[in-house]
Each structure stands twice: as structure tokens, then as C-alpha cells.
Structure 1
Amino acid sequence: MIRTLLWLLGGLLLGGLIHLVTILMLPLLAEDTTWTRITQLEARNRVVILPPALPGEPNPFHIDTELSYGLCQVDLADGPAYLSGILPDAFWSVAIYNQAGIVTYSTTNRDGIGQNVELGIFNADQTRLLAQQQIDIAEGLLVVESRDDDLFILVRLAPPHEIMRPRFEQELSKLTCGPRPAA
């Protein structure tokens, strides 16, 4: 009797372990991920405006139909990345995601930033160089450190009226994203 219970307990533990490992490994085996979809947009070091999501139509990025989106993909192995420009005087937010789609940093214009976006994204090594004053940065630059090198930046704008969407998206497309050009 005890031997049978031990076999059952062992089987349950082994089954639970196999189940857990399988669930944790499935995302690593996925071929169609948010990262692969973003890579297909060719948004490396430039802002790409996402087409608006229309009600009832496929929405692969699960974006809000009321917002305008700009997306930029960067690789900090190439050097620090910068996002800069001026956004319309309405609600906006900026979020930095790693390759797994996890938000590593986020801010909004309600944080007292205003309309100017001046963001520098550095990995740990670049942050050390920054602390040693071996990298020059502009005054007022918001410095963000990332553990990961492969990132994407998502900028969201909330046009107060649908008729303003084209103008907002035009302003969004003027943002610069990527490494700073050599002076």
C-alpha cells in the first residue's frame, strides 16, 4: 500500500515537473512573437508609424484604436540610443520594452516633461562610461539604463479628436531614434 502511494506521489511530482517545464519552454519555441513582428516593420533606428487598428479587423499588436503609435527598434550594442523631438500638446507616453516584451522603462508627459522628449538609453557599460564622464550628453537628457541591448521604444499619442490623428502622426514621425550621429 505504501509502495503504491509512493509511486503515485512520484508520478504526480514527475508529471507536475514535466508540465511546468513545458509551459515555461513554450514561449522560447514560439516563432511568431512581438519581436519578430517588429523586426519585419524595419523600424531599426527610425520611428515607424503603426497603422491604426480598426474595430473588427485583425490587430496583431493589440493596440488601442483611439491612440496613434510610433515604434523604434534599437540595439545598444551599437552604442547608446536616443529618442528626441517635440510632441503635440496632448497626452503622450513613451515605453521601452525588451525583446521579451517586458516594459523596462515608461514615462508620460504628465511627469512634468512637457512636449520635449529627450531620452538617452544606455546599457550598464555605457552608464559606467557616462558616470566617468567619457560620454558627453546634452543637458536635460533623461538617462535610462537598460539590462538588455535589444529594445523597442513605443510612443503613444492620444489625439483629442479623430480629425487630428494625421497631424499627430506627422509630428510623431519627426521624432529621431537611434544612435547619435557623430558631431
Structure 2
Amino acid sequence: MRKVIYAVLLGLFGAGIVHIAVLLLVPDFSERDAWSRLAMASDLYRMTRFDAEAGGPPVVKSVDPLFFAAACRFDLNDGMVQVTAPGQVPFWSVSIYDRNGHNIYSFNDHSATGGKLDTVVLTPAQMIEVRKQLPEDYAGSIFVESPIGEGIVVVRAFVPDASWKPTVDRFLNGATCDPETLED
């Protein structure tokens, strides 16, 4: 019986130490979220590559080496955001995240007109204004209505083999994340 009590007490003591260590490390890790790391790497509305091919230390670790990626921080309080990229790649996907890293919306090239990346992220109120009179620039755009203020757009492109690297590099390096305002 003494051995069981000793094992339980030792387990509780060890669990307490682990718990305290985790609590002390939370502030260190919370300052290194994707939003903070992107903020240190670039300004709002600027696409930032974060794959291994971009050179330098990655801003955010990419999980799959066959995908290259770029991200852009935005603030919908400044107006809607239009994300575009030139050319065609074998496959691309776009994910919209809120500032805390929660995925709000995702889609890929199969949802786009002709496989072209052209999307507009906007609030429900901005969508009402756009619907009143759709500008020609947005005729083929995918509209993502989002109830967030600040967020991150992540564009990923598939690289099936080394021969596709230059094409995917041009696609991501040419990607834009432009703030747009509606004119009365």
C-alpha cells in the first residue's frame, strides 16, 4: 500500500512541475504566433513568402515541402482586400484566417473562373455596397464575406517537381494583396 501511495504522490508532484513549466512558457509561445511573426517580417497588405525556397529563415513553418506559400496580413477596417496572382500553376489554394489563426474560409483553383486567382475579402457591410453596383474589376472575383477586422490570407501552390519551381515562384512572387475602397 505504501508503494501505491508513493507512486501516486510522485505522479502528482511530477504533473505539478510539468503544469507549472507549461504555464511559464505560454507567454513566450503566445508572442510567436503567425500574426506576430508576419508583422515582424512585413507590413500590412504585403505578400510574404514563407516556404523554404524563399530564402532565409521561414516566417511560418510549412508542413508540406511540395507546397510553396505566401501570406498577407490585412485590416478590413481600412476597406476590402483584393488578392490576385498571375499565371497558372498545377494547383493553388487560399485560406483566410482571423488574427488568432482560426480558419474562416478556404477554397482552391477549382472554385475560380478559369483557375485564375482573384479573390476579394470583405465585411458583410462592404458586400452590401459592392452588390449595389459591381465594379468591372471584380467581375470574375471570388467574394469572401468575413465578419472579422484583421486577418491573414495564405496562398499555397503545389510544386509537383523541380521543373515547376520557376512557374510557382513567379506565381507567388507576383501575388498581390491590395486594399480596395469603394468609390461613391
State whether TM-score is above 0.5: yes
Out of 36-45 and 73-82, give the one that drifted further. 36-45
Contact 1:82/1:118 (8 A) holds in 2 = yes
Identical aligned residues as a percent: 24
Partners of 2:109 and 2:64 in 1: CA distance? 19
Report Cα offsets for 1:13-55 as digits up to 9, x if no partner. xxxxxx9xxx9xx68x9222121112112052121222317xx
TM-score, normalized by length of structure 1? 0.71
2:100 aligned partner? 100
Alignment: residue pair count: 156
1:102 aligned partner, one-letter code: H
Partners of 2:179 and 2:59 in 1: CA distance? 30
1:175 aligned partner, one-letter code: A
Q: Which runs of 5+ in 1 are unaligned?
A: 1-18
Partners of 2:89 and 2:37 in 1: CA distance? 30
DSSP-derived class of the 1:104 partner? strand
TM-score, normalized by length of structure 2? 0.71
Question: How far apart are residue 96 of structure 1 and its match?
Answer: 0.6
Question: How far apart are residue 62 of structure 1 and its match?
Answer: 4.3
Partners of 1:169 and 1:182 in 2: CA distance? 31
Partners of 1:146 and 1:59 in 2: CA distance? 25
Q: Which runs of 5+ in 2 are unaligned?
A: 1-18
2:180 aligned partner? 180
Partners of 1:96 and 1:119 in 2: CA distance? 11
1:52 aligned partner, one-letter code: A
C-alpha RMSD of the superposition:
3.0
Structure 1 segments of 4 or more deviating over 6 A? none
Out of 61-70 and 150-159, give the one that drifted further. 61-70
1:69 aligned partner? 69
Partners of 1:115 and 1:109 in 2: CA distance? 5
